[in-house]
Structure 1
Amino acid sequence: MAGGLAIGFRPPLKHAVVGVKVLNHQKVFSPLAFSSSSSSSSSTSRKLILYSKPGCCLCDGLKEKLNAAFCLSTPHSLHDVQLQVRDITSNPDWEKAYQYEIPVLARVRSDGTEEVLPRLSPRIGVEAIHKKIAAALTK
């Protein structure tokens, strides 16, 4: 790809993160973080963890697409999903486990354990991500 753009290249999505909380140096993105009428509590909300590291273009792209997917209005809304982004370079165990695999997306089960979800292609669209996440969270 010398000297040109790849076929199918799309500029980055321009969706803003509506709410961000920081817990133990980990970012938690939640579309409802600043909503005054939110009735969901953190104990009943659905949670995802994204293992990532600074400077990872695949990680950044997936974060943008996830945030866009959370904002879509569909019958299977993801508005209540909390996304926690974990920097693998801040924890040796995470770095050892995921250094060659990032971005890694995991859902947090009701018992607090994590289930790593199948890898999402960097070429996947926002709507397809929405469908896959919605399906994974209904298990």
Structure 2
Amino acid sequence: MRIGVLAKAAGVSVPTIRYYESIGLLMPPARQGGQRVYGEQALGAIRLIRHCRDLDFSIDETRELLASVQGCVPCSETRTFAEKHLGAIRTKIAELRVLEATVASLVSGCEATCSGSVAPDCVILQPGCGPHSAPS
């Protein structure tokens, strides 16, 4: 199939396919008559790439997972890989919860102290009022 047909079947754009090729996630196919002709394997690879990206795996992690599929790596290794990713997600969620609490506190402080004042005086914009401020 040609690149436009592949893009439509995979639910991505033609530039996305070219990007995947340029970064080595998708191997460029042989050309017939000067045009790229893709097989079903390319469609499966793009679907897997999209799935990995939807799960927030990085490009490098996605590359590793594609290699695992192509190399028929045991599922247990893929599970270990996913467990590591899950740990990173949980760490990020914890960091985001701290950030959420900090911003909520600043918004609350703004409501209490900044009524009608100008932006430079706003508690939200004051250095030392965020999650990276030094203890008093």
Task: Report TM bin, short chain.
Answer: under 0.3
**TM-score when normalising by structure 2:** 0.24
Bigger strand fraction: 1
**TM-score when normalising by structure 1:** 0.23
Q: Which of 1 and 2 has greater Rg?
A: 2
The one of the two structures with greater contact order (alpha-carbon pairs below 8 A, sep at least 6) is: 1
